[in-house]
Structure 1
Amino acid sequence: MKYQIIPVTPFQQNCTLLWCETTLKAAVVDPGGNLERIYAAIEQLGVTLDKILLTHGHIDHVGAAAKLADETGVAIEGPHSDDSFWLENLPRQSQNFGFAHCDAFEPARYLEEGETVSVGDCSLEVIHCPGHTPGHIVLFNREAKLALVGDVLFRGSIGRTDFPGSNHSALIHSITQKLWPLGNDVAFIPGHGTMSTFAEERAHNPFVADQLLD
């Protein structure tokens, strides 16, 4: 599986274009905005968009998803159904965060723990990781040892837990009990900022380093 990170929105959210090298089928993960950048990357790479995947319901991650789906005819999958209230409240989110108006929408498929999503011949495992939002999911490609973690974990930080439905202890549990067991050699793409590895965060992250939680 190959990928390209496309920063979008004033929040510099990491939209990710994933594709299968064999079939050139692709998925866009968290298209928060700036569709022109996403279309340009798809055209430049010569891939075919097959689906849209969402890690959670915050507007900087989903703001352009419905428009992209309408324009391309592909389906939206994710997040977990526990984030449905965030998608229903997109008009209010757009107002609160200074984004252009965004209508509410419902994905074609909510994703559950243990399910898989295919991108061409590649497979992504769905891991339900509540905390930042109740329906947040992480997408994991075991062959590439790559995780798309949205706003669960960042280089040197963790997701905010001051939103409605957030839960700090649940977030810590998601990171330490669901992500760490995937392996220290897993690289991850966060929702914002630069990539890192689970080993790096277990050693140095001031919120979830192993020495802090023993």
Structure 2
Amino acid sequence: MTETAEPPVRVGIIPVTPLEQNCSLVWCTKTMKGALVDPGGDLDKLKAAVAKTGVTIEKLLVTHGHLDHCGQTGILAKELGVPIEGPHEDDRFWISQLDDDGKRWGMHAESFEPDRWLTDGDTVTVGEAVLEVIHCPGHTPGHVVFYIRDGHLAIVGDVLFAGSIGRTDFPKGNHQDLIDSITGKLWPLGNDVTFIPGHGPTSTFGRERQVNGFVSDYALEQG
């Protein structure tokens, strides 16, 4: 019997907050060191999931500054004593108003200052794994995507969904920027790339290019 080689990176999805936001637990299988991407809330649920896997969290990663994605990231970082990396600094204004947004939505949230703002072309390490940073403005101006090249996997936050795209009616959102981010930065990564969106089921870039009513090749040709 042939044993299947352990992939260098594993990812688990843990929906959090009343908005069912997909927090991703990413870890390096060689070192068992990991990161939580967009730990927006339900911290007890997240800590239980991490404990179950035996992963040691070494940092927290953030795709963008919206409440459901990072409202409790600062709280968790203090609890675990780990740094926060991301998003791009253009989302500073979103993160600075988390306290107020939390009250508005009836959710506990705290503003924070990331230990590292990210820019296009940066890399983030998780154990020995490398995640490439792609700046994808549109939903928010400072939104970033984390791409695991070895695993043909992208964590895209609210840029792209199965069958849909991110909203652009928030402050400093821009529809054309979002379309340009998807077609100019995500599609070139390849049709075989699986992506984890900020909400809902996973899909592949290739499938969305076929069926997505907003950014399929056909929809864009009709433009």
TM bucket normalised to smaller: over 0.9
Q: TM-score, normalised by structure 1?
A: 0.98
Residue 213 of structure 1, CA deviation: 1.3
Say whether 1:33 aligns with 2:56: no
Q: Contact 2:34–2:56 (CA<8 Å) still a contact in 1?
A: yes
Structure 1 Cα separation of the partners of residues 175 and 20 of structure 2: 24
Distance in 1 of aligned mates of 2:150 and 2:218: 29
- Quote the Cα distance in structure 1 between the aligned partners of 2:53 and 2:168: 37
State the Cα distance separating 1:91 from its structure 2 match. Answer: 1.5
**So what's the TM-score if we normalise by structure 2?**
0.94
Matched, 1:146 2:186: no
1:82 maps to a residue whose letter is D
Alpha-carbon separation, structure 2, partners of 1:80 and 1:66? 16
Which amino acid in structure 2 is aligned with residue 49 of structure 1?
I
Question: Unmatched 5+ residue regions in structure 2?
Answer: 1-8
Q: How many residues align?
A: 213
Give, in angstroms, the shift of residue 89 of structure 1: 0.7
- Which 4+ stretches in 1 moved above 4 angstroms? none
Q: Which runs of 5+ in 1 are unaligned?
A: none
Q: Aligned match of 1:136 in 143, 153, 161? A: 143
> Sequence identity, in percent?
59
Match of 2:133 among 126, 129, 136: 126
Match of 2:174 among 167, 172, 191: 167
Q: Does 1:194 align with 2:196?
A: no
Query: Secondary structure at 1:143's aligned position in 2?
Result: helix
Decide which moves more: 63-72 or 76-85.
Answer: 63-72
Cα distance, 1:32 vs structure 2: 0.6
2:57 matches 1:49: yes
Instruction: Give the letter aligned to residue 96 of structure 1.
Output: R
* Residue number in structure 1 paired with 2:18: 10
Instruction: Name the CA distance, whole Å, in 2 between partners of 1:97 and 1:186.
Output: 34
CA–CA separation in structure 2 for the residues paired with 1:16 and 1:103: 20
How far residue 49 of structure 1 moved from its aligned partner, in angstroms, is: 0.4
Q: Which has the larger radius of gyration?
A: 2
